[in-house]
């Protein structure tokens, strides 16, 4: 569990993070989105205890990172964006060093090592100098280092930065697998990545959270309404929909089929309601789909509104 309560961070006259509150449930993947300089990395560094907040409170696993920094940090694994590595070390030596820095006993290290190596897929490069490894393997070594002490929370700052498409897919799958045991916060500039991997998305702009919620909730927030396309054979279904209080935006007739484009601003899934209406009236639904707004559209809309 991670909780930020009205957190503010200043650097001189610059307010990098302003009055941010955030709650992350155990086992949740939260995607952190924002323009460059929005405050993502500063917020993540406050969660890790690297920066201390000027105002507000940061708690990790119930531990205040200011009052109990050592206890809080033991619960956190951190992969920074630049992923600093000792290139003359091998991954084995680097993990051994990282474990010792976190007061992991030699006996516990041996047990943790192969679990971490297996999860991150670095067995084939375990004894090669880190400086000789590809970008993809270097990111995996950095992630293994963040995992070696078995933290409850993973903080990943741009974990797929600089990776090729296949490496990005591989890293996404790995993060998704790790979330079965860990709470994960990751920042990313790749909209599709946040949309596909995150349970919740947080959009930050100018140091303030401008929106947070599931991808579906953000879509609703940005669009303000739900739009559903329905294809049936019975044109009379139009009257049934209207009688049920569903607004029809457009009707398209083609061959023996009719497409209705309907809209509604109610909460919940409009498709389920339409399915039940069709079933009660013995109307066969040939097709039905919800029109989606891309996360990029949502991001641009919300950050533009915040600037305005």
CATH architecture of 2-213: 3-Layer(aba) Sandwich (3.40)
Domain range list for the chain: 2-213, 221-295
Supply the pLDDT for residue 308. Answer: 43
By the 10 Å C-beta count (0-12 exposed, 13-18 middle, 19+ buried), 275 is classed as middle
If we measure between CA atoms, which residue out of 177, 265, 186, 276 comes closest to residue 230?
A: 276
Helices of type H across the chain: 40-48, 69-73, 91-101, 106-120, 135-147, 165-178, 191-197, 215-223, 237-243, 270-280, 295-307
Instruction: Show the low-confidence residues of the chain (pLDDT under 70).
Output: 220-225, 265-268, 292-295, 302, 305-308
Give the pLDDT confidence of 163-172 residue by residue, as tens digits: 888 888 888 8
Share of the chain above pLDDT 70, in %: 94
Distance CA 88, CA 39 (A): 33
- Specify the 3-state DSSP secondary structure of 130: helix
Other Cβ atoms less than 10 A from the Cβ of 297: the count is: 14
Residue located via tokens 């503010």: 8
From residue 263, give the alpha-carbon distance in Å to each of 106, 266, 269, 291: 62, 9, 11, 10
From residue 44, give the alpha-carbon distance in Å to each of 6, 78, 174, 185, 194: 15, 9, 20, 8, 16
Q: Does pTM top 0.85 for this prediction?
A: no
Residue located via tokens 């992630």: 143
Domain 221-295 top-level CATH class: alpha beta
- Where is 227: in which H helix or E strand? strand 226-232
Supply the pLDDT for residue 293. Answer: 65
> For all residues of the chain together, what is the average pLDDT?
89
Supply the pLDDT for residue 243. Answer: 93
Supply the pLDDT for residue 291. Answer: 77
- Specify the 3-state DSSP secondary structure of 96: helix
How open is the CA angle 222-226-229, to the nearest 5 degrees?
Answer: 130
- CATH topology match: 2-213 vs 221-295: no
Distance CA 119, CA 142 (A): 13
Supply the pLDDT for residue 265. Answer: 66
Q: Is the dihedral of CA 191, 192, 193, 198 positive or negative?
A: positive
Give the pLDDT confidence of 144-197 residue by residue, as tens digits: 999 999 999 999 998 888 788 888 888 888 888 888 889 999 998 777 778 888
């Amino acid at each position: 569990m991670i909780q930020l309560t009205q957190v503010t961070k200043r650097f001189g006259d610059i307010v990098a993070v302003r009055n941010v509150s955030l709650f992350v449930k155990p086992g949740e993947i939260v995607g952190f989105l924002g323009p460059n300089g929005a405050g993502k990395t500063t917020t993540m560094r406050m969660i890790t205890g690297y920066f201390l907040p000027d105002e507000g409170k940061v708690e990790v696993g119930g531990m205040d990172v200011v009052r109990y920094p050592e206890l809080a940090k033991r619960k956190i694994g951190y992969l920074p964006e630049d992923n600093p590595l000792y290139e003359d070390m091998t991954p084995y030596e680097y993990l051994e060093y990282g474990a010792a820095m976190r007061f992991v006993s030699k006996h516990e290290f041996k047990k943790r090592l192969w679990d971490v190596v297996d999860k991150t897929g670095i067995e084939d490069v375990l004894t090669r100098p880190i400086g000789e490894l590809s970008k993809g393997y270097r990111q995996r070594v950095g992630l293994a280092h963040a995992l070696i002490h078995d933290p409850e929370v993973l903080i990943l700052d741009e974990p797929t930065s600089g990776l090729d498409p296949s490496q990005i897919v591989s890293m996404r799958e790995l993060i998704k697998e790790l979330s079965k045991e860990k709470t994960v916060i990751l920042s990313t500039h790749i909209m599709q990545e946040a949309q596909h991997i995150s349970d919740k998305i947080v959009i930050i702009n100018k140091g303030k959270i401008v929106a947070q919620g599931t991808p579906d909730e953000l879509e609703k927030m940005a669009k303000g309404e739900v739009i559903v396309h329905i294809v049936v054979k019975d044109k009379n279904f139009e009257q049934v929909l209207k009688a049920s209080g569903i607004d029809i935006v457009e009707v398209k007739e083609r061959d023996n089929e009719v497409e209705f484009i309907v809209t509604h601003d109610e909460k919940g899934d409009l498709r389920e309601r339409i399915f039940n209406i069709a079933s009660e009236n013995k109307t066969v639904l040939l097709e039905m789909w919800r029109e989606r707004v891309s996360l990029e559209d949502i991001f641009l809309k919300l950050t533009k509104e915040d600037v305005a």
